[in-house]
Amino acid sequence: MTHPLVTQLRFARSEFVRCLEGVSDEDARHRIMPMNCISWMVGHLAAQEQYYFVFFPKGEVPHPQLNKSVGFGQPATTPPLADMWQVWNDITAATDSFLDSLTTENLQTHFEQEPKAIEDSLFGTASEEVLRKIMARNSIRSRENIGTKLLRTTYHYFFHTGEAHAVRQQLGHPDLPFFVRGDMPDTLWK
């Protein structure tokens, strides 16, 4: 059975997707300062899921360029929307088998990964000195447990759903959807 926190993450994803229905590439790449553009948000959320739920549990990095192009702290970009949706779809599909395996017990555990994998993953924008310190370790243990990472990702989706909604308002999009819609599944609370 799917853990209720995973169900909530999937609901947050669906609200994000619903918020962006019908957005054109031109509008998705339009940056209204100081916000990021919508296409960046799509890629940015994919980058977080790739890091948390593909790389750490599986050691895989299907889209290694993501963190450099849409990662936290990186210079702003305005990538093509279709490209970012493709990456987002690839990564969320890759995370689903891991997410479906989560139990209350393993939500309390921490990810570990080999230092070489971190160096090879291209996630880091770390200095040479920081990389040397990482490489000197036997393994890298995440600071937060899996459950906290799951919650952080869910909240991150809602943050960017609101930001994307604000961008759409500024662009003058009519008839924007209301959040959170009324058909939330009762299974969230069981």
Rounded distance, CA 48 to CA 39, Å? 15
Which domains are present in the chain?
4-108+145-180 (1.20.120.450)
pLDDT tens, residue by residue, 44-100: 999 999 999 998 898 888 998 888 899 888 889 999 999 999 999 999 999 999 999
* Strand-pair partners of 190: none
**Residue 127's pLDDT is what?**
59
Q: How much helix, strand and coil, in percent to the nearest 5, is found in the chain?
A: 60, 5, 35
Helix (H) / strand (E) element for 7: namely: helix 4-19
User: What's the token pair of residue 157?
Assistant: 């989706």
Rounded distance, CA 165 to CA 173, Å? 9
Residue whose C-alpha is closest to residue 159's, from 84, 72, 100: 72
Rounded distance, CA 10 to CA 121, Å? 26
Provide the phi-psi class of 130: left if phi over 0, else alpha when psi is between -120 and 50, else beta: alpha
pLDDT at 188 over 60: no
pLDDT tens, residue by residue, 111-155: 887 776 666 555 555 556 666 666 666 667 788 999 999 999 999
What pTM does this model have?
0.87
Q: Give 22's Cβ-side CA count (13 Å radius).
A: 9
